[in-house]
Amino acid sequence: MRKRRDDPEPDYPWRPNCRFELLVDGNRYFPRILQAISEARHSIDIEMYLVISGTSTTRLIDALIQAARRGVTVRCVFDGTGSLEFSSDDRNRLLKGGVLLRRYNPVSWQPLTGNLHRDHRKLLIFDGETVFVGGTGFTDKFCESDAETGETPWHEQMLIVQGPVVSDWQELFERSWQQADKRKRRPMRLISRRSVIPQWPSSGDGHGRVSYSDSRFHRDLLASLLASIRRAESRIWMATPYFLPSLALRRALIRAARRGVDVRLQLSGQQSDLPPVHYAGQRYYPGLLRGGVRILEYQPRLAHLKTVLVDQWVSIGSCNFDHWTLHWNKEANQNAIDGPLAKAVKENFERDFQQCEEWTLERWQAMPLMHRLKVRVWGWVNRIAMVGFDIER
């Protein structure tokens, strides 16, 4: 029987027999990335939003050139805005070294909204067998340890993935590679459609699923998160650096908290690279706190994690689940149902919670006038910026 056009199949199903390894902070995952580059036999595919010239990027370029020289096909897609601080000298080194490089939607003279659509994904695929996915960029703040503390300035996670789900990641990269063709000066025209989330695996570990978005026209990521929240039984822990949640997400979190689920948000503290976003997001605190949601702000460093733990369900990738992300960006997360991975993510959350300051309604009510003014002003700016968009739904 012919399928209805308004009832499409899910883009990517759950894949069994997958393996996951969580790596926390760039001083752990960046050496593993360099090792994977040195061991690659056939292909290296990289899709990255933020690329800034510096010590770590120089090390990366050297490794990629060496791989290309030994016959490995190396392809890189860098976002046109995120790579603005990637120097022309470094770009030329890559090209002369045999690396294939494309930029997604380079900044150009076009209507403003044409330049806003970005490729925010962070994805590395080696030999079609191993994937690194998470929230990193190729910058010293992510990848190089501070001489005094021994830690990277930005707190981040990457996930190593192996198994059948890698073929789906490869297919997703191929789409981006074609969309980033230099002849296409603007993002491809997208068709809005309803996301269909596949049924959860009945039991067992090692299940993985690629979840992605191509801006407001395809919201598999948000739909997957909301479906997981609705079925949560014991825990919803979520880490995001830029907290501008949709109305649907706020309502889902509050409903879960009111039915007894432990709902915690781990957000960036005062160490934020985007203070206006930090203050704008705080305007949501009172409603969430009254609804039973716990809000904790990470203090030691800039927390850039994009991680969700719902019971045994894990989602790690590039998506912040904020207004801007859901409306404009290409994003991708690895969703997983896997006991050992859930345990590792839980333990990392627990370590981070010990370094957080928790908000309460009493603290909110006692907030200094200047802080309150910043929240009001930047919250107002955020509302104005989002007028006319459908992201509150």
Mean pLDDT of the chain: 89
3 state SS of 173: helix
Interaxial angle between packed helices 369-385 and 275-282, expressed in degrees from 0 to 180 and rounded to the nearest 10: 100
29: left (phi over 0), alpha (psi -120 to 50) or beta: alpha
Whole-number CA gyration radius for the chain: 21
The pTM for the full model equals 0.92
Spatial CB neighbours of 75, under 8 Å, sequence gap ≥ 6: 43, 44, 45, 46, 99, 100, 101, 102, 177
**Which of 165-169, 216-220, 344-348 shows the lowest per-residue confidence on average (mean pLDDT)?**
216-220
pLDDT at 38 over 80: yes
Q: Residue 112: what pLDDT?
A: 62
CA angle 105, 109, 112 (to 5 degrees): 75
Q: Residue 186: what pLDDT?
A: 46
pLDDT tens-digit readout, 44-55:
999 999 999 999
Q: How far apart are CA 340 and CA 28, in angstroms?
A: 19
Average pLDDT over residues 110-138: 89
Helices H / strands E in the chain, number of each: 14, 17
List the domains of the chain with CATH numbers: 19-179 (3.30.870.10), 207-385 (3.30.870.10)
pLDDT tens-digit readout, 260-283:
999 999 999 988 888 999 999 999
Cα→Cα distances 252→256, 263, 296, 352, Å? 6, 10, 18, 24
Beta pairing, strands 154-155 & 262-268: unpaired
Kindly report the number of other CB atoms within 10 A of residue 128's CB atom.
14
